[in-house]
Amino acid sequence: MGMTVYFLRHGQTAWNAEKRMQGQVNVPLNDEGRRQAREAAGRLPAIGLCLTSPLDRARETARLALGGEGTPMMDEPLLIEQGYGVAEGRDQTAAYVDPQDPMYNYGPAPQDYRPPEGGESFEALCLRARVFLSRRLLPLEGQYDTVLVSAHGALLCAIFRELLGTQMADFWQNLLPHGGVRAMTVENGVCRLLEAPPSVRP
């Protein structure tokens, strides 16, 4: 019968609205983010299992999108957002215009990005995504017809990159908007991503 997976990016937070590097800081949804999460409910069928990042913004997005229907939810540490180390909380716009800033290449040229102290490289993030797919998600085929994965922008891009085999320079080409949903079918371990909503930029 196969399995359908729905990938959901969390709703907006105050730090998203302020364009601050959020990473693994546990910032909650704002009112707009809660609205986006409730709106996502209309793009989801009945879900058998939800795997979510342990950060509150992803967990609350999943709860609101599921509409309190009693779907089992499991925290999955591999789904936590990319860590930015000492740059977490930094103004994103200012970082992108300063060539001396460690976050300078993060959005425009991910292939040249070198993480700041305590941060996570794109290569390490993609390895984490690969482990999630092979050890956590794909083994669920045959147990569930539908699975929801509630996570973060960069982490979901890493998953999509692993599935599509895109170059690191194109890492952001599948970035979901806040509250955005993308579906994937799994048949006998073979994954096929379905059409995505219009991409946004980090």
Which residues are annotated as catalytic? Answer: 10, 81
Residue 44 backbone phi and psi in degrees, to 5: -120, 140
Query: Can you state the angle between helices 56-66 and 31-40, rounded to 10 degrees?
Result: 40
| Structure-block tokens of residue 76 | 């999955």
CA neighbor of 119 nearest in space, from 91, 85, 70, 165: 85
Contacts of 41 (CB under 8 A, 6+ apart): 64, 65, 66, 67
Q: What span, in angstroms and rounded, lies between the C-alpha atoms of 70 and 90?
A: 38
Residue 98 backbone phi and psi in degrees, to 5: -115, 105
Contacts of 186 (CB under 8 A, 6+ apart): 2, 3, 4, 5, 138, 141, 192
Give Cα 103 to chain centroid, integer Å. Answer: 19
129 burial via Cβ count (<10 Å: 0-12, 13-18, 19+): buried
